[in-house]
Amino acid sequence: MLSLPIEKINDFFEAVASKENLYIPVDNVSGKANFQKWEKGAKLSNALKTIRSAKDFFFPKAENLVNYKVNGQEITVEDPRKDIEDFVIFGVRACDAKSFEVIDNVYLNMTPVDSYYKNRRDHGTVITLACSEPVQTCFCSTYKIDAANPSGDISVWMADGKYYFNANSPKGKKLIESVQSILTNADEKAVDKAKKEITEKIEKLPFAHLDLSKFVGKNMMTLFNSDVWNKVSESCLGCGTCTYVCPTCMCFDVRDFDTGNGIKQVRCWDSCMYSDFTQMAAANPRLTQKERSRQRFMHKLMYYPMAHEGLFSCVGCGRCLESCPINMNIVKVIKAFNNDTAEEK
């Protein structure tokens, strides 16, 4: 394990940025944090998490897939992709790091592989940062995610006035070796103490151990047909905010745009909460907000884990709790089903 005094973190950033593009959480004018390319003078945010997750680096909200021109009966196809330079993301939290596994299962581990996503994953190095001060909306521990011991190519902890670095992958080791001259060897005592303190804080959070026992395959149709959906969906605005801040939502639409000099095909984020998400030429199978809300939460808690060995498609980051304008969120859904079952008994 290696360490660096907190006041010298910009030396680390400068060393990394001299070799690869580096992105860190930076506060905007309203005091909210988002990832930004590091430049001299940029100040690392103290915020626990960014407004939008690090998912954007691998699955951007809009990307040009292909361009083509039609001239009579001749079609010219152009691949607009350019070589992606290696890049580093610093300050990814444990929940967001886990979200990459959720998306990887769909875009990397299934056939066909999404080559656009894979290209970015291959070139990105993820440096995670343990959550020294988890907040009330955090519930990653419900999904067995350890905020005190985040995954990633490199894991970082803050303790005793220092940053502690541990490389977990070949990419992480390569990066650490390239900047090792500014780091010093350290034992793990301070990190072990920090991990214990973080775990103790997490255990005191209100949603640290939500009961997910109802969300198993044998209960799928019972949950699907439950009257609970009427109650939890009645106030939903269908605004899609929850899907756009979610680190694991991966639905998209593909649209063609006439540029006046050819056609540009673009993939952009979409939301299952929108009324036209499943619109087809003849019909729409989800006509009501109840059906759309049910789809979103059933996918997070039932469909995805059934297809991926019990891995939930929620990482407990709490962004939906903080962003929903009417305070509807996955925690309320989980609690509603647990209360419904309790009332039946």
On whether residue 71 sits in a domain, the answer given is no
Q: How many domains does the chain have?
A: 2
On whether residue 72 sits in a domain, the answer given is no
On whether residue 254 sits in a domain, the answer given is no
- Clarify whether residues 178 and 47 are in a common domain: yes
| Average confidence (pLDDT) over 135-144 | 97
| Average confidence (pLDDT) over 263-271 | 95
- Clarify whether residues 192 and 223 are in a common domain: no
On whether residue 157 sits in a domain, the answer given is yes
Q: How far apart are the first and last CA of the chain?
A: 52
- Clarify whether residues 145 and 12 are in a common domain: yes
Residue 238 φ/ψ region, left for φ over 0, alpha for ψ in the -120 to 50 degree band, beta for the rest: left
Instruction: Give the closest residue to 257 by CA, choosing from 114, 60, 66, 61.
Output: 66
Span 33-68, pLDDT tens digits = 999 999 999 999 999 999 999 999 999 999 999 999
Q: Is pLDDT of 342 > 80?
A: no
Of 203, 238, 264, the residue that ends a domain is 203
On whether residue 259 sits in a domain, the answer given is no
- Clarify whether residues 105 and 133 are in a common domain: yes
Q: Is the peptide bond prior to 112 cis by the omega test (within 30 degrees of 0)?
A: yes
On whether residue 65 sits in a domain, the answer given is no
| Average confidence (pLDDT) over 152-180 | 97
Span 176-194, pLDDT tens digits = 999 999 999 999 999 999 9
- Clarify whether residues 140 and 186 are in a common domain: yes
On whether residue 66 sits in a domain, the answer given is no
Span 199-255, pLDDT tens digits = 999 999 999 999 999 999 999 999 999 999 999 999 999 999 999 999 999 999 999
| Average confidence (pLDDT) over 156-178 | 97
- Clarify whether residues 138 and 186 are in a common domain: yes
Reported as a pLDDT band with limits 50, 70 and 90, residue 341 is: low
- Clarify whether residues 185 and 302 are in a common domain: no
| Average confidence (pLDDT) over 313-318 | 97
- Clarify whether residues 232 and 150 are in a common domain: no
pLDDT computed for residue 345 by the predictor: 41
Q: Is pLDDT of 319 > 60?
A: yes
Q: Is pLDDT of 153 > 50?
A: yes
Q: Take residue 95 and report the two structure tokens written for it.
A: 């929940």
Reported as a pLDDT band with limits 50, 70 and 90, residue 138 is: very high
Strand, helix or coil for residue 10: helix
- Clarify whether residues 132 and 22 are in a common domain: yes
- Clarify whether residues 297 and 155 are in a common domain: no
278 is in which domain, residue-wise? 217-248+273-344
Of 144, 171, 203, the residue that ends a domain is 203
User: What's the angle, vertex CA 329, arms to CA 324 and CA 334, rounded to 5?
Assistant: 175
- Clarify whether residues 172 and 308 are in a common domain: no
- Clarify whether residues 155 and 279 are in a common domain: no
Residue 72 φ/ψ region, left for φ over 0, alpha for ψ in the -120 to 50 degree band, beta for the rest: left
On whether residue 236 sits in a domain, the answer given is yes
